[in-house]
Amino acid sequence: MQASLKSKHVQHDATRKVRLQEWWFRNRALIGYAFIFPWFAGFIIFDAMPFIYNLYLSFTDYQIGTVSTPPWIGLDNYTEIFTEDKLFGKSMYNTLYYLGYSVPLRLIFAFFIALILNLRVRGMELYRTLFYVPTVVPLVAATVIFAGFLNTRYGFLNQFLVLIGAAPVRWLSSPDAIKPSLILLSLWGFGAQMIIFLAGLQSIPDDLYEAAAIDGGTGWHRLFYITVPLMTPTIFFNLLMGLIGGFQVFEQVFILIGTHGGPLQAGLVYMLHVYNKAFRDFEFGYAAALSVILFLIIFVLTILLVYTSNRWVFYGDAQDDET
């Protein structure tokens, strides 16, 4: 500041430019704040305020007709969810069922195929692409494709089953088959995890395997004593992301079987219940309470997983830099 005050003589552009640069140089922090400002503004408007307001809403009876301040009803929404709402238990069960199969199966398929692709056989790039391409298909398109693919009369799967002499299945209209259909659709996208595993596998240094080979280790030894331990951070990452995403499964179900969740509501997942309460029944307060419960479940689960990860996740990566 002083520098600019002292300069009473005529400034040509060059010196002014230098002054400006000096000023900025000393006030880098301001630039830092300026650079993160758009993100921070977004954080306040689209994250922090909605999060807090959502919490508040969950204690109110905000409905479609509510004009001014929504009436505060304390824990009523929560008591209703836990005591009266049959669909809460149902949708939670459906979601857990979906998660319980789709997340582990995706990880197993992804890890297994990534291991094979990592053997560096000829044509590996082609196979990698073929396994990955389904994940490039937009979710809406993938779901619509599965709706046709699993169509009772005209879908590929049933026509194929008939061809080999098996009985066709009412994939999307029988309560027993809805959840398996959703899991099938989810498995079609295991390439996303596979590619992450593959990147992880390729970063394992070769000399570790060479050392093991010199010591007389077999293929299984290498797999269980080198590959799997070194891959635990990636497995952990995929598991956590899979669970967080799986709890919020929505679009596939919405498109594949509609908002009601299909016959006997066998496909009513948790997010669909939240969506129906908010955007069909317009019970925003109630839906907010449902969403808070889902948040708490995801939050506690994340904490538990991170906390217990010390026991099985191996972070001794040699090429790790700080953070």
- C-alpha closest to that of 290 among 313, 274, 269: 274
From CA 19, how far away is CA 3, in angstroms rounded? 8
SS3 122: coil
Q: Footprint of other proteins on residues 262-291 (CB under 8 A)?
A: 271, 274, 278-279, 284, 287-288, 291
DSSP 257-319: HTTTTSGGGTT--HHHHHHIIIIIS--HHHHHHHHHHHHHHHHHHHHHHHHHHHHH-----TT
18 binds other proteins (CB under 8 A): yes
Sign (positive or negative) of CA dihedral 156, 141, 191, 175: negative
CA atoms lying within 13 Å on the CB side of residue 64: 6
Chosen residue from 3, 11, 26, 40 binding other proteins by CB under 8 A: 40
172 binds other proteins (CB under 8 A): yes
Q: Which is nearer to other proteins, 8 or 207 (CB)?
A: 207
31 binds other proteins (CB under 8 A): yes
The four Cα atoms 137, 179, 268, 256 give a dihedral, to 10 degrees, of: 40
Pattern 181-200, binding to other proteins, x per CB under 8 A? -------x--x---xx--xx
Chosen residue from 95, 234, 265, 276 binding other proteins by CB under 8 A: 234
Smallest separation, CB 156 to other proteins (Å):
4
Instruction: Count residues binding other proteins (CB under 8 A).
Output: 97
Chosen residue from 230, 247, 261, 276 binding other proteins by CB under 8 A: 247
Pattern 78-107, binding to other proteins, x per CB under 8 A? ------------------------------
From CA 284, how far away is CA 287, in angstroms rounded? 5
Q: Footprint of other proteins on residues 132-171 (CB under 8 A)?
A: 133-134, 136-141, 144-149, 151-154, 156, 159-160, 162-163
Smallest separation, CB 315 to other proteins (Å):
9
253 binds other proteins (CB under 8 A): no
